Amino acid sequence: METRRITVLSAGLGVPSSSRLLADQLAASAERQLTEAGYRVITDVVELRDLAVDIANNFVTGYAAPRLADVVSGVQASHGIIAVTPVFSASYSGLFKSFIDILDPKALGGKAVLLGATGGTDRHQMVLDYAMRPLFSYLRTRIAATGVFAGPQDWGNTNEGSSPLSDRITRAAGEFAGLLQGSQPAPKPAVSASLPFEQLLAGISGGQ
């Protein structure tokens, strides 16, 4: 039985967080559909809120604390990523973008990605196509065609397990699961240490 490793990135700030709730539902649906397809699934859930200080320090020092380094290694070693962020000022959160910025720009190349976002009004749902999709396209990932936005009206409207949100989750997770089936790009090996800031900057410059 082949194994697929998924890293779930939740950038929610509250406890509980609607972003984490959406991320958990996307992950559960993807796991179920991959299991039905005959795959063993390992899922790692990362609350970026818990890493906020380490992420900020990494920008200043160029050094990733052990906990942050472990998360970065896990992302690089995964086959797919479920990325969910709250919307601020019509875009992804600063915490979410800061975490993406500390990754090796080539680390996500070829990985399957499922996009999700939460916000206080449906006017924010365009963040999926106008902010998140361009970001992950730049990083050369394979993005599921359907992204999932959840607003306040989407929670608590489930009727015996079926709702517009659950239908979108099932469809998006199915597309994501499809991307994870068959041959996959080789995951990046785990890194044991953070590169100095100068080397990270040189690597970004060299890739442009």
Give the pLDDT band of residue 201 (cuts 50, 70, 90): low
Amino acid 123: pLDDT: 75
Find all residues with CB under 8 Å of 97, minimum gap 6, and list them: 135
Which residue in 145, 61, 47, 148 sits closest to 96, CA to CA? Answer: 47
pLDDT higher than threshold 90 for residue 138: yes
**Which amino acid, residue 56?**
A
Other residues' Cβ atoms within 10 Å of the Cβ of residue 137: 12
pTM: 0.87
Compute the distance between CA of residue 16 and CA of residue 24 in angstroms, rounded to an integer.
12
129: tokens are 């196509």
User: How much of the chain exceeds pLDDT 90, in percent?
Assistant: 72
User: By the 8 A CB rule, do 99 and 135 touch?
Assistant: no
Per 3-state DSSP, the chain is made up of helix, strand and coil in percentages (nearest 5) of 50, 20, 30
Helix (H) or strand (E) holding 35: helix 18-36
Partners of residue 162 on adjacent β-strands: 159
**Which amino acid, residue 158?**
T
Compute the distance between CA of residue 114 and CA of residue 43 in angstroms, rounded to an integer.
14
| Domain assignments of the chain as residue spans, ordered by start | 3-207
pLDDT higher than threshold 80 for residue 192: no
Q: What is the largest CA-CA distance in the chain?
A: 55
Amino acid 207: pLDDT: 47
Which residue in 76, 72, 5 sits closest to 39, CA to CA? Answer: 5
- Tell me the per-residue pLDDT of 33-83, one tens digit each, with 9 for 90 and over: 999 999 999 999 999 999 999 999 999 998 999 999 999 999 999 999 999
For domain 3-207, the question of CATH label 3.40.50.360 is answered with: yes
Tell me the pLDDT of the chain averaged across its residues.
88
**What integer is the mean pLDDT of 89-110?**
93
Radius of gyration of the chain (CA): 17
Compute the distance between CA of residue 122 and CA of residue 58 in angstroms, rounded to an integer.
34
Amino acid 154: pLDDT: 84
Amino acid 120: pLDDT: 82
Segment 36-40 long-range contacts (CB within 8 Å, at least 24 positions apart): 37/177, 37/181, 38/1, 38/2, 39/1, 39/2, 39/3, 39/4, 39/180, 39/181, 40/1, 40/2, 40/3, 40/4
